Amino acid sequence: MSSPSLTPRATIVFDLDGTLAETAPDIFAVLNIILEREGLAPVPPARARDLVGAGARVLIERGFSLYGRTLDAGKLDALFALFLELYADRIADESFLFPGVVGALDTLARKGHRLAVCTNKPERHARMLLEALGVEGRFGAISGRDTYPYFKPDPRHLTMTVEAAGGDPADAIMVGDSRTDVLTARAAGLPVICVPFGYTDVPVEELSPDVVIPHFDDLTDAVARLTGA
Catalytic residues: 15
DSSP states of 25-87: HHHHHHHHHHHHHTT-PPPPGGGHHHH-SS-HHHHHHHHHHTTT----HHHHHHHHHHHHHHH
Query: Could you check whether the bond before residue 153 is cis, i.e. omega within 30 degrees of 0?
Result: yes
As a whole number of angstroms, the distance between CA 212 and CA 209 comes to 7
Give the H/E segment covering residue 123: helix 123-132
As a whole number of angstroms, the distance between CA 167 and CA 120 comes to 20
Would strands 172-176 and 141-143 be described as parallel, antiparallel, or unpaired?
unpaired
